[in-house]
Amino acid sequence: VLLLHTRIFVFKITLFSLQAEDEKPKISLNMDPVDVKTWGLPLDSKYPDVVQINEANFKPKVLESRDAWIVVVFKDKLHGKWWHHAGHVKGAVWYGSVDIEKQENFAKLLQQAPESTAENIGNGVAVIFPFGVTPKEKIKFTGKKKKRPLIVKSPTKAEEIISSSIPNQIERMNFKPSRMKKFQDWVVDSYYKSSPPRFPVLCITDEPEPTIPVSMLVLSNYFSRFFSFALVRKEDVSRMRLQFKEVPEPKVYPHYLMLMGKEPSKEEMDRGSFGMHFNIFPFLADKYGRSELFTSVVKFLFTANEDYRNELPGRRSDEAISEARMSLVRDSLRNRVELVNKHFRKQKNVEL
């Protein structure tokens, strides 16, 4: 099912919505792979797993970047746990590496540990640089300890610290009857109280409270002008499906559902029917890729905007082309990838 249909606040769903014969073919209504070159976005291959960091590229790549970085100081070979995590957060968080045997002084500076040597580095130590340029500007490598970068030895802790540094712009929805007004207000506000209007997106996760996947946090910041994001926990899916009865239970997490409203026609209003119709546009891994990957969800969001922006409630008829095409987001995504790839040296992947 590529598209589901409902009527908001009554929530009666049919299985799909057909495309009119005179419409431009919708990318979302086929299972062909998505070509990001359509929007001038970076190819998946342009997102590196791990970047070699040195004294020359450290400031422009890491300190002057808006994005969060995990820079691992290691000996000889980067341990498999860091490679695995780099693949998991690829695109949302940048990963860097510093070989202590080749850059001993720089490695010691990063760790603020003069006693650190190739012999006691173990399986690697990660230096954490938070999301946002301003937090990085406050980091000092000497002086007061509270201003120094955080050092961790586990990918889980690294992700936890980075997630806490990213502004949380995601609403929380549990679909309890007493909380349905919050959901309805969120949808209506996305369309009619945002400028430009936004697509509402439900982000469903199996992570325990209060964890939010780092990719969701980063996506919600880069796409905040055009999308409103709300989090649904796995334990709340059954209540959600009481409202969206034809929506299948997710097989993998995270999962995404886009709500695309359609205002009632004149004929419907003449009959006294003022409910808003909805198409529910689900994320499909077979089309967009693995849902935990930043790049896969970028494809999903750009596809939704391409296919349905003209139908978005609250949209101005004279909307600028740059707004309609999300040029601001495109440029931001392109610039961040160009920055990380400038004078790029790829770290060899050696699993241990």
**pLDDT, tens digit (0-9, with 9 covering 90-100), for 153-169:** 999 999 999 999 999 99
Write out pLDDT tens, residues 275-287: 777 788 999 999 9
Going by their DSSP bridges, the two strands 150-152 and 125-129 should be labelled as: antiparallel
Distance of alpha carbon 65 from alpha carbon 133, whole angstroms: 6
- Tell me the mean pLDDT in the region 104-118: 75
- Tell me the mean pLDDT in the region 108-124: 72
Domains along the sequence of the chain with CATH: 4-32+167-319 (3.40.30.10), 45-166 (3.40.30.10)
Per the listing, tokens 């000497």 go with 142
Distance of alpha carbon 6 from alpha carbon 142, whole angstroms: 58
**19, 29, 1, 4: which is closest to 245 by C-alpha?**
4
Residue 118 pLDDT level (bands cut at 50, 70, 90): low
pLDDT confidence of residue 170: 97
Distance of alpha carbon 97 from alpha carbon 348, whole angstroms: 10
Residue 352 pLDDT level (bands cut at 50, 70, 90): very low
Question: Model pTM?
Answer: 0.89
